[in-house]
Structure 1
Amino acid sequence: MDNKGQTSAEFILLFGGIMVVVLLVIYMYNNYINDLSGEMASNEVKEFNSQLDALGKYFK
C-alpha cells in the first residue's frame, strides 16, 4: 500500500483540473474584454460622427 504515491497523484490531478478551469476563465475573460473594447470604440466613433454632423450644420 503506497498511500504517499496515491496522495501525490491525487494532488497532481486536482492541481491540473484547477489549472484547466483557470485557463478557461482567463480565455473567456480575454474574449469579453476584446468585445467590450470594440463596442466602446464603436460608441466613440458614433458620438464623434454625431458631433461632426452637428458642427456641419453651421458651415452649410
Structure 2
Amino acid sequence: MVLNMQILKDEKAQGAAEYILLFGGVIVIAVVAAIFYRNYLTGLGNETNATDVQNITNQLQNLTSAVNQTG
C-alpha cells in the first residue's frame, strides 16, 4: 500500500514538471512572436506617421497658396 502511494506522488511531480515545460514553451513562442511583430508594427507606424505629416504639409501649402492668391 505504501509503495502505491509513493508511485502516485512521483506521477504528480512528473505532471507538474510537464506543465512547467509546456508553459515555458508557450512563453518562449509568445516572446518570439512579440519581437517579430514589434519590428513589423514599428515600421508600419513610421510609414503612417510620415505619410500623415506629408499630407498635412501639402494641405497647409495649398491653403497658403489660396490665401496669397485672394489677398
Q: Give the alignment's TM-score, normalised by structure 1.
A: 0.69
What code does the residue aligned with 1:12 have? Answer: I
The structural deviation recorded for 1:54 is 2.1
What code does the residue aligned with 1:40 have? Answer: T
Q: Kindly, what percent of the aligned residue pairs are identical?
A: 35
User: Larger Rg: 1 or 2?
Assistant: 2
Report SS of the residue matched to 2:61: helix
Task: Choose 10-19 or 21-30, whichever is displaced more.
Answer: 21-30
Hey, what's the Cα distance between the residues in 2 that align with 1:18 and 1:57? 58
Could you tell me which runs of 5 or more consecutive residues in structure 1 were left unpaired when the two chains were aligned: none
Report SS of the residue matched to 1:17: helix
Answer yes or no: is 1:19 the counterpart of 2:27.
yes
1:5-44 alignment, distance < 5 Å:
5-44=13-52
> What is the total number of aligned residue pairs between the two structures?
60
Task: Choose 48-57 or 36-45, whichever is displaced more.
Answer: 48-57
